[in-house]
Chain A
Amino acid sequence: MNGRKGLSYSAILALLAAALGAAVVASVTLGRYPIGIREMLGIWGSRVLDIEPFWTKTQESLLLNHRMPRILLSCMVGGCLSAAGASYQGVFQNPMAAPDILGASSGAACGAALAILLDMSSPMIMAFAFAFSLGTVALVIYTGNRARGKRVIGLILSGIMISSLVSSGTSFIKLVADPTDQLPAITYWLMGSLNGASMRDVLFALGPMALGLIPLFLLRWRVNILTLGDDEAKTMGVNARRLRMIVILSATLITAASVSVSGMIGWVGLVIPHLSRRLVGNNYRHLMPASILFGAIFLLLVDDISRNLLATEIPIGILTSIIGAPFFIYLITKDGERY
């Protein structure tokens, strides 16, 4: 199938999966408080087998309650943002599309800011972010479908407009927020962070992420046909309008779930799909799994840097741009036959 690099698509995907596994193990051992691979295997093994503890209580609690949830969440968020970006790029026939194209991120930001302003608990902040994110996209789709002219352009334009409207709402909330505690909390949320990730966050995100990823994964071959435009898709027996709506809704669901647990993490959804395109080509049959795996690896490694590089945590949203932007520039200036 693939004559260019000698590596078959399944070999590339297997390598990516192996790399993800290695990155997970490495991430467990990284951190101020040491946990070795032996301890990790022991603690995991003791969940099912009867193993005499040779590790400390602190190690066990740290691994199970802090490090593992955080590792899981960064993989989930990275994989989802990347899958959502790849999907949006396909349905909008636009290589510059990213998960926030329909306002999912700005909506989540506004919801989170509002919840912080109202002094709500952290599960409520998450729920608000999620609901606002979906609400914003629903509004964008509603307006976009009423726009005259080409449907896709209408959606993108209404996405830009409503995003900017919602962002001004966020700015207003920041203006009236208490500058001693609320404002820093909002700012910190906006920069994106996986700090303090818990099993509760993982469970919160798991449902919507699964609900969105499954259809995206199953329909991934058909996304190829959407990239050719509605008329061509329809003459090949594909109901383009319905398919696009399903893909948009699924991609929005996983974006909303990601943003509501992690805050604003930019670049992953744009850069990783392009990197994956370089690796396996534009066929979504291979691109979708490659993007998910690659996104998970990328965000996991960036999160490792974010919690280990300096004594204080660096918000991950800042790091993804610092790493993502130059890398992307390198990518678009490097030429080669790509498909």
Chain B
Amino acid sequence: MRVDDIRFSYGAGDVLRGVSFTAEYGEFLSVLGPNGVGKSTLFKCMLGLLTPTEGETRIDGKPIREMSAPELARSIAYIPQSHNPVFNFSVLDMVLMGTTAQVGAFSAPGREQIERAQQALERLGIAHLRDRGYGNVSGGERQMTLIARAIAQRARILVMDEPSASLDFGNRIRLMQTMRTLAADGYAVIQSTHDPDQAFLYSDKVLALYSGRVLAWGRPEETVTDEVISTLYGLDVRVYSLHGGSVRVCLPADIERKEEERSS
């Protein structure tokens, strides 16, 4: 997938300007940036929910503007944060909803789609939940259900808006490992996140957005740096390397001063 020079404005002032990047199948891409920087707007432009003022998104070379809604749904899937919908559906029904674009407007998912949903549930290790209520399982399990839904949708690009925001530590790591596995299986995974450490640890590429523009784009070693993270969040941040550089931890710079105070 290629996002080409996207500009977007809601009326007054541009929310996004000249944003370009590519995501390949088999890659895990993280989008970093402070609140209100246009991450959600960018995702909406990628998913066809908003039409950019300039520029375009192409999937396999085809502009999404030229794709029908079902065609787009079979190419790119959206995984929302684990939410609690007004009406409680069974986990299986929730996953089956992802297959809607595969059946006619007047029909419901049939045996083939149920089979596909079942496989998606097994793949994510939550097949035992299929007859439970989506609203009655835990937040982590809900998130897995929504990923299963995207898998059943048969899209090969998975877009997640801050997926780990409402998850606890364990589920956050489980989620990241799952997404890593999916990327290894050939999916293009794109997430927005507030956690630079996590972006470094799990992603193949990082896109840093700052006031609607691309501040940095590339491999995590090049993008998760003192300079970029400090600019993004308007803080003096130091990025420390651990385990011979395979892990990076971002901490506020005043930790060094504290350390000096303690040792003196």
Contact = CB atoms under 8 A, between A and B. Distances in A.
B106 A4 contact: no
Nearest to A90: B87
Interface string A282-314: 110100000000000000000000000000000
A1 to B, nearest CB: 8
Interface of A: 2-4, 89-90, 93-95, 218-222, 224-225, 227-228, 231-232, 234-239, 277, 281-283, 285, 337-339
B88 A338 contact: yes
Nearest to A92: B86
B149 to A, nearest CB: 8
Nearest to A246: B105
A338 B89 CA distance: 8
B87 A95 contact: yes
Interface string B132-171: 1111100000000000000001000000000000000000
Nearest to B133: A339
A234 B153 CA distance: 13
Contact of B100 (A238, A282, A283, A339): A238
Q: Closest 6 interchain pairs by CB?
A: A237-B101, A237-B73, A339-B133, A221-B108, A235-B78, A339-B88
B153 to A, nearest CB: 7
B180 interface: no
Nearest to A239: B69
A94 B89 contact: no
B211 interface: no
B89 A237 contact: no
A225 B87 contact: no
B49 A231 contact: yes
Nearest to B97: A225
Contacts of A218: 105-106
A339 B108 contact: no
A242 to B, nearest CB: 10
B93 A224 contact: yes
Given A224-B93, A225-B97, A337-B136, 16 more contacts: A2-B131, A4-B131, A219-B106, A221-B100, A221-B108, A231-B47, A232-B80, A236-B98, A237-B101, A238-B101, A239-B69, A282-B88, A285-B108, A339-B90, A339-B93, A339-B133
Contacts of B97: 224-225, 228, 236
A239 B72 CA distance: 12
A2 to B, nearest CB: 7
A237 B106 CA distance: 14
B69 A238 contact: yes
Contacts of A220: 108
B189 to A, nearest CB: 15
A281 B94 CA distance: 13
A192 to B, nearest CB: 28
A213 to B, nearest CB: 14
Nearest to A218: B106
A234 to B, nearest CB: 6
A31 to B, nearest CB: 40
B70 interface: yes
Contacts of B73: 235-237
A282 B96 CA distance: 14
A235 B100 contact: no
A60 B44 CA distance: 66
Given A3-B131, A339-B88, A236 B101 contact: yes
Given A234-B48, A235-B47, A283-B93, A337 B108 contact: no
B95 to A, nearest CB: 11
Contact of B136 (A239, A283, A339): A339
A280 to B, nearest CB: 11
B135 A339 contact: yes
A325 B70 CA distance: 43
Contact of A339 (B76, B89, B101): B89
A228 B134 CA distance: 12
In this complex, the member of B80, B89, B135 whose beta carbon has the largest number of chain A beta carbons within 10 angstroms is B89
Contacts of B88: 282, 338-339
Contacts of A283: 89-90, 93
Contacts of A221: 100, 107-109
Nearest to A227: B87
Contacts of A235: 47-49, 72-73, 76-78
Contacts of A232: 78, 80
A237 B74 contact: yes
B13 interface: no
Interface in B107-123: 107-109
B245 interface: no
Contact of A234 (B49, B74, B80, B135): B49
Interface string B10-41: 00000000000000000000000000000000
A300 B153 CA distance: 43
A93 B87 CA distance: 8
Nearest to B106: A218
A238 B74 CA distance: 12
Contacts of B80: 232
Interface in B50-84: 69-74, 76-78, 80
26 contacts: A90-B87, A95-B87, A221-B107, A222-B100, A222-B105, A225-B97, A228-B97, A231-B78, A232-B80, A235-B49, A235-B78, A236-B73, A236-B98, A236-B100, A237-B100, A237-B101, A239-B69, A281-B89, A337-B133, A338-B88, A338-B133, A339-B87, A339-B90, A339-B93, A339-B133, A339-B134
